Amino acid sequence: MKVLRAKSAGFCWGVERAIDIAREYAQKGRHPVYTDGPLIHNRQMMEVLTGEGIREVGDYRSQDKLTVSPETAAAAVMVVRAHGISPERRAYLKTLGMEFRDATCPDVGIIAGKVRLHAKKGFRTVIFGDPQHPEVIGLLGYAEGQGHVISGPADIDALPDLGEKVCMVSQSTMFTDEFERLAERLRGRFPGALVFDTICGATKDRQSDVVELRRQGCEAIVVIGGRHSANTVKLAKLVELQELPCFHVETATELDLSALGRFRTVGVTAGASTPAFLIDEVCRKLETLP
How large is the C-alpha radius of gyration of the chain? 20
Long-range contacts of 257-265 (CB under 8 A, 24+ apart): 257/285, 257/289, 260/1, 260/220, 260/222, 260/286, 260/289, 261/1, 261/289, 261/290, 263/1, 263/219, 263/220, 264/1, 264/2, 264/219, 265/1, 265/2, 265/3, 265/4, 265/216, 265/217, 265/218, 265/219
Catalytic residues: 135
State which H helix or E strand residue 99 sits in: strand 99-102
Provide the H-helix boundaries in the chain: 13-27, 43-51, 70-75, 87-93, 106-120, 134-140, 153-157, 176-189, 201-215, 230-241, 257-260, 276-287
Q: Are 230 and 242 in contact (CB under 8 A)?
A: no
Please, what is the end-to-end C-alpha distance for the chain in angstroms?
5
